[in-house]
Amino acid sequence: MIYLLDTNTFVEAKNRYYNMTVCPAYWQWLRQKFASNDVASISMVGDELKKGDDELADWAKDYPALFIGVDDVGTQTCFAQIANLIVSQSAQMKAGAVEDFLSGADPWLIAKAMATHGTVVTHEAYNPNAKRKFLIPNVCEQFGIDWMNTFDMLSRLEARFILGVPVTT
């Protein structure tokens, strides 16, 4: 099973608990897990990350293979199903929610997970009462797609970041 990472998992990791300078092992682990086909993301997430002007944007530019395409027939077919569902629920949502959701990477990430029987990794929380915006976990639930947060993924993949010799400057 492949774990497909949402943009917010990269940004949160960089900004908070796996700062790229403090915990480079996390970022190395992501590359290793991509090489073993356990972890990936989609090209649109990569594009979102590369728009930045920071070390995360540089990292995403240095590892473009981590961000897989969505132009395959399976993903395109699944995206159409997701788009149809989202449009059908537009009356229940805030104005603009449909356009905002369908114009971003989220529906494509879900479609790739659906097409590959993967698991979406996001920091969004399930909220069946959400009206302001479409949430990844809510859409995943409607299609029976597995989703989890970064910490659950790390646990399932038995990640271990072992302290080595500290680097001094």
pLDDT tens for 48-67 read 999 999 999 999 999 999 99
Does 32 fall in a domain? yes
Does 146 fall in a domain? yes
Does 134 fall in a domain? yes
State the chain's mean pLDDT as an integer: 93
In the prediction, which pLDDT does 167 show?
57
CATH code for the domain of 143: 3.40.50.1010
% of the chain at pLDDT higher than 90: 84
Asked whether 120 and 6 are in contact (CB, 8 A), the reply is yes
Phi-psi region of 144 (alpha: psi -120 to 50; beta: other; left: phi over 0): left
Does 164 fall in a domain? no
Q: What is the DSSP string of 7-55?
A: HHHHHHHHHTTT-TTT-HHHHHHHHHHHHTTSEEEEHHHHHHHHTSSSH
In the prediction, which pLDDT does 166 show?
61
Using one digit for the tens of pLDDT, what is the confidence trace for 118-150? 999 999 999 988 888 999 999 999 999 999 999
Asked whether 48 and 54 are in contact (CB, 8 A), the reply is no
- What is the span of the domain harbouring residue 46? 3-156
Asked whether 29 and 157 are in contact (CB, 8 A), the reply is no
C-alpha dihedral (19, 67, 146, 155), degrees to nearest 10: -40
In the prediction, which pLDDT does 93 show?
86
- Confidence band (pLDDT; 50, 70, 90) for 92? confident
The pair of structure tokens assigned to 64 is 């473009």
Asked whether 135 and 109 are in contact (CB, 8 A), the reply is no
In the prediction, which pLDDT does 168 show?
56
Q: Does 164 have pLDDT greater than 80?
A: no
Sequence length of the chain is 169
Using one digit for the tens of pLDDT, what is the confidence trace for 64-88? 999 999 999 999 999 999 999 999 9
Interatomic CA distance for residues 107 and 115, integer angstroms: 12
Structural domains of the chain, count? 1
In the prediction, which pLDDT does 90 show?
86
